[in-house]
Structure 1
Amino acid sequence: MTPEHLLTKAKSQLTMKHPYFGMLASRLKQEPKEGLRGYASNGKRFLYDPEFMGRRSIEEVMFILTNCVMHHVLSHQQRQLGRKGGLWQLATDYAINNLLHKNGLEIPQGANYNEEFKGMYAEEIYDALKESYYSDIDDAFGGEDDVPPPPGMPGGTGEGGEEEDDSGAFSNLGNIEEELDAQNESEWQYASSVAQEVAQRKSAMPSGMDRLGKKVKAADVDWRFELYNAVNKHMRNNYAFMPPNKKHIYRGIALPSLASDTLSLCVAVDTSGSINEALLGAFTEEFKNIMTIFPAIRIELIIADAKVHGHYSFQGGEKLDFPLKGGGGTDYRPVFDYIEAELPMTTMLLYFTDGDGWFPRIPPPYEVLWALSRPAKVPFGRGLVIFNS
């Protein structure tokens, strides 16, 4: 059987035995690539070394395909937050492979699998790995993201420190591209919802999916349309004399010009204890989307719970790197006080929160959009429910 036929057969068997996994695996376009270390997936294409694939059993190929697609649909990039990339990828691999084992898929020798992590979220596994094996990860690995599996555990090296045969490909975290572009990620989320619907009709939905971390999905309300309209309105109305409108300079008349490139949008992220990590990841991802869509706008980012923990300024194209500190109660007043004192030119505030906290008694002079994780009453501004958990 050729590698191409083997992959096709594996997808077919997955679709019959595990409809959810099979439908998702069928989305990957398989392409041979000689010299590749085993296989690799970027969310659209599944590249494989023909020699490596030719040595695989049908069960091993089913595992490979399923492991790849589960990395693509579980919002692991969104949930990473400030965690080390390599160690976070390893934690997600352990979580996924425990799920696959629970649902009857054969786990190949050398894959990142350990029963100690059974029933644990990727976030919990990450903390356990860091505490037990990588307590000083920056010193141990020079701050790099490439983190090897714990020694002596499945997916690690043998006693001699070398991988046996080619089983190391099953634990190679480089097989999965860590980041998906926004459109590709959206396509995977849609495909996952369709596959779930089909699997549920056949009473064949994989068990234990909830333990991989609750995904946060966009609400039915087209809140982005509301937000983008508001931003565009402020861009059109933001007149300034610097620089002047050059159209009438020759007549000796200095008229105001549109200064949309200097518009300052303020975004606040609620990091209080009532906001779990999945929501924080979702808030962060939406902030990145805003930066992508409005690259000419300077955005002031405020991190706060009952007090302001940080203020960062970004403009399109800049690297987004900021810590998410917090975990206390929720009091919105410090953010409004901070804006009044430090950002007096603010014309609009977008506040990511759950709507449960102390509000200012007097509304501010600028527009406020509350990006809510659940329905909640707000005393002023507009509330848009943007996520359903």
Structure 2
Amino acid sequence: MSSEQLLLKAKSLLTVKYPYFGMLASRLKHEPSDSVSGYASNGKRFIYNSDFLERRSVEEVMFILTNAVMHHVLSHQQRKLNRRGRLWQLATDYAINNLLAKNGLAIPQGANYNKEFEGMYAEEIYDALKEEYFGEGGDAFSESGDAAPQEAGMSQEADDSQGFANIDGISDEMDSQDESQWQYAASIAQEVAQRKGAMPLGLERLGKKVKPSDVDWRFELYNAVNRHMRNNYAFMPPNKKHIHRGIALPSLTSDTLSLCVAIDTSGSIDDALLGAFMEEFKTIMQNFPSVKIELIIADAKVHAHHTFQGGEKMDFRLKGGGGTDYRPTFDYVEANLPMTTMLLYFTDGEGSFPRIPPNYEVLWALSRKAKVPFGRGLVIFD
């Protein structure tokens, strides 16, 4: 059977036996390539070596496709945070393969599978692997986090059995549009699978997420932003919509809003919540592309300050893990961002507050109910 026939048959069987996985696998466009020794997927294309694939059984191809799409669907990259890259990829692979085994898919020899990790989040598996390979300090990784345990079998030059542990071939970085498309596809696949009574077992543990609460906090935030914005016309930069016609119409900008966002990275904020905070910050950037946003990373002290506007790529590490003291953040804003008109603080509300409120508006985006001495508190997550 040719590689193309194998892929089509594997997708067809997945759709029949596992509707959720099958619908997602159908999104991948596949193409042969001699540039890979096994296979690779970036969320759009599934590239494969024809010789490698033709030595596979249909069951093995079903595993390969399902493993690849689950990495994309679960947005594990968004939950990576400051974990070391290769070990995090390995942890997510163990989590996914335990899910696939739980649902009856055959796990090929050589795949990253350990029944001891059954029912564990990728975050929990990561901690266990870090302790196992590197001890309590975890210092065997390089600072870039690109090293990996030799035992994991990452080389594409290894034998066929180790090709099933090919985490290097699954892209851990997608743009926001691709991520949102996978999330939408997953929601449709879930509806279909639920109607057929065929939802995968254990998916709720694998996709650990912090869900937004019933409070429409974004509506409150946008109302607050709009209160500060007075539309002001300026000819620099020009509105690009009519540039091709030789007309430089003024752009709509605001010189009255300076939005500051602070993210609490203290020890009381777990990794899932940090990831959720970052996702909400990305949403804010996308919804206010013309507004310059100052981002502050802090726990009991300010660790970093970044400036973003529009859809700029976020490339930085979250530092913290200590106690929570909000006073250094407010001191920093006063000293370095005197034009701030509003501060949005993502936190759990447990920390030391300034005695005197600032002269700008403060909106507390809280992960749970908490009393705040000034500003407005909104519980944004369950």
Q: TM above 0.5, one fold?
A: yes
Instruction: Tell me whether 1:348 sits opposite 2:342 in the alignment.
Output: yes
> Normalised by the size of structure 2, how large is the TM-score?
0.80
Residue in 1 that maps onto 2:301 = 308
Structure 1 CA distance for aligned equivalents of residues 263 and 35 of structure 2: 46
Residue in 2 that maps onto 1:325 = 320
Amino acid at match of 1:64: I
Equivalences for residues 248-287 of structure 1 within 5 A: 260=254, 264-287=258-281
Structure 1 CA distance for aligned equivalents of residues 261 and 225 of structure 2: 12
Residue in 2 that maps onto 1:93 = 93
Residue in 2 that maps onto 1:251 = none
Q: Which runs of 5+ in 2 are unaligned?
A: 235-250
Residue in 1 that maps onto 2:121 = 121
Residue in 2 that maps onto 1:48 = 48
Instruction: Tell me whether 1:200 sits opposite 2:194 in the alignment.
Output: yes
Residue 58 (structure 1) shift: 0.6
Structure 1 CA distance for aligned equivalents of residues 37 and 223 of structure 2: 48
Equivalences for residues 1-389 of structure 1 within 5 A: 1-135=1-135, 140=140, 142-151=142-151, 155=153, 163-164=158-159, 166-217=160-211, 227=221, 231=225, 234=228, 236=230, 260=254, 264-291=258-285, 298-305=292-299, 307-316=300-309, 317=312, 320-326=315-321, 328=323, 332=326, 335-355=329-349, 363-373=357-367, 381=375, 386-387=380-381
Residue 67 (structure 1) shift: 0.2
Alignment RMSD: 3.6
Change (3 A) 1:359 1:70: same
Deviations 1:24-53 (A, max 9, x none): 111112222234222111112212222222
Deviations 1:149-194 (A, max 9, x none): 452x6x468xxxx723x23321122211111111111111122122
Residue in 2 that maps onto 1:254 = none
Change (3 A) 1:335 1:148: closer
> Normalised by the size of structure 1, how large is the TM-score?
0.78
Q: Is the 8 A contact 1:33 1:50 kept in 2?
A: yes
Q: Is the 8 A contact 2:229 2:256 kept in 1?
A: no
Structure 2 CA distance for aligned equivalents of residues 353 and 79 of structure 1: 17
Amino acid at match of 1:56: R
Query: 2:362 aligns to what SS in structure 1?
Result: strand
Q: Is the 8 A contact 1:235 1:260 kept in 2?
A: yes
Residue 287 (structure 1) shift: 2.8
Q: Which runs of 5+ in 1 are unaligned?
A: 241-256
Give the total of aligned pairs.
363
Structure 1 CA distance for aligned equivalents of residues 232 and 136 of structure 2: 49
